[in-house]
Amino acid sequence: MNAALEPALRGRTHVLLDFDGPVCSVFAGLSAAEVADRMRQRLRDAGQSITPEWEEENDPLALLSRISRALPGLAEQADAVLTELETDAARLARANPDIKPVLDACVGTGRTVLVVSNNSGQAIDLYLRREGLTGQVERVVGRVPGEPASMKPSPRLLLDAMGETVAARCVFIGDAVRDVEAGHAAGVPTIGYANKPGKAAKLTAAGAVAVVESLLPLADALTSIDSHL
């Protein structure tokens, strides 16, 4: 077993789980670039002019951040548009088959799973229902509607998910540097999921306490490492 997983999982009763990456590829069917395009078109149709900087942005979540920084009054509408498009994307998202053993291991060892994501909670809820996973997830914490500043690397969503649970009982699993940064800011260790070449080094450099290239060893470790102190 990856020795770094032992301290990251022992005594951790609450598993905070990023959505896009560990659970599924949200934009595998409806691509991120297509969602960004449709988002611009919907705003244009509503009479909003689109700046050249917004035209260049192919990541819809980054586009939402750009829009809200430039025009805070447009944040709520842009977020609502994106939420609808993400919900369409969630219908076509590609499942990560290795997440089920992770969820089974968490439930089997009495751990609580909370999904913490920059995606819209509505889209995540739809996906979890689609895959029959709602019974294994205690709560979904998506970005705060109309407040893209709540997104990771801000610790806000993680802190919201943790509630009264002390950080020493929590671990976060994410596939992006911003996840590691958000975990650090929330005082929670992050296990990096390096699902693409080159990610492992970036996640390690960002401060991930352990890095796995597959979720299956993580599922095994969750099963064999006690969640109780």
Interacting positions 10-49 with Mg ion (CB under 5 A): 18, 20-21
69 versus 196: smaller Cβ distance to Mg ion:
196
18 versus 181: smaller Cβ distance to Mg ion:
18
Peptide bond into 153 cis (omega under 30): yes
183 lines the binding site for Mg ion (CB under 5 A): no
79 lines the binding site for Mg ion (CB under 5 A): no
What is the amino acid identity at position 38?
A: R
176 versus 221: smaller Cβ distance to Mg ion:
176
Angle at 61 between CA 154 and CA 183, to 5 degrees: 25
Contact yes or no for 87/116 (Cβ under 8 A): no
Residue 121 CA, chain-centre distance (Å), reads 10
- Inter-CA distances, 164 with 50, 89, 169, Å: 42, 33, 11
Stretch touching Mg ion by CB under 5 A, among 52-60, 122-130, 175-183, 200-208: 175-183
86 lines the binding site for Mg ion (CB under 5 A): no
Place of tokens 């829009």: 67
79 versus 175: smaller Cβ distance to Mg ion:
175
Please, what is the minimum distance in Å from the beta carbon of residue 221 to Mg ion? 20
Q: Which residue ranges make up the site for Mg ion (CB under 5 A)? A: 18, 20-21, 175-176
